[in-house]
Chains A and B, each alone.
Chain A
């Protein structure tokens, strides 16, 4: 068993810096032998969350930072990402899976985070996201998804 790890870092609004943090977290998961599927899920969710914070939250402004905190144990990884933007109302993000939105080239990041992580939570302002992945535990799929699967059978 490895001891728990906590780390926090402040990065400028630069996606290359985000990639470096991503690599560090992924490496920590691999050291703790998280399943390949978990590593895939965390990498994807991190990418989406960091791009959202840097591009949409901070508007790529180099004067603004992104705060990243993460906790990793042998059982779970929890990541908090906070930007300096005004935040947003999640209920105002159009559902990208509706037929009328299917061809819109954006709006899928939050959905993917929700599908691949066990927990996704925003603070009230909408400028901080908390993500959690439990080792080896697949996220619960929303009922709508299950219905969709049945239709395909």
Chain B
């Protein structure tokens, strides 16, 4: 794959950054590290404050990945920005619901709905 180490596709929609996961499975420790580094860079290095994470492609996700999302959320909040999650399929949404992280994150059904909310 030409994407190399990139595991997230980044797109700018006006002043909002849409980060779409490339992988179907966000399980492997190595991948999760790479994803974490790429996502944290959006806030720490690029100073982006409005971020949408698009889960359309994601079929599996582990608690280690949830950990990275929580850390990202903290970074965005600290920078006085806003993070939204969208297009999460029901199985994955259940993982958020069981862990009550659906209460921590702002989750919308579609990317359009997430964009409208900013």
The interface of chain A, by Cβ under 8 A from chain B, is 15-16, 19, 37, 40, 43-44, 47-48, 51, 55, 96-97, 102-106, 108-109, 111-112, 115, 145, 148
Contacts and interface: CB of A to CB of B under 8 A. Distances in A.
Contacts of A44: 60, 62, 95
B67 interface: yes
Contacts, number: 59
A106 B63 CA distance: 7
B92 to A, nearest CB: 9
Given A37-B91, A44-B95, A104 B70 contact: yes
Nearest to B77: A103
B99 interface: yes
Contacts of B48: none
Given A55-B29, A103-B104, 19 more contacts: A15-B28, A16-B28, A16-B30, A19-B27, A19-B28, A40-B60, A40-B91, A43-B27, A44-B60, A44-B95, A47-B62, A51-B29, A97-B99, A97-B100, A105-B67, A105-B71, A106-B67, A109-B62, A112-B99
Interface of B: 27-30, 60, 62-64, 66-68, 70-71, 73-74, 91, 95, 98-101, 103-104
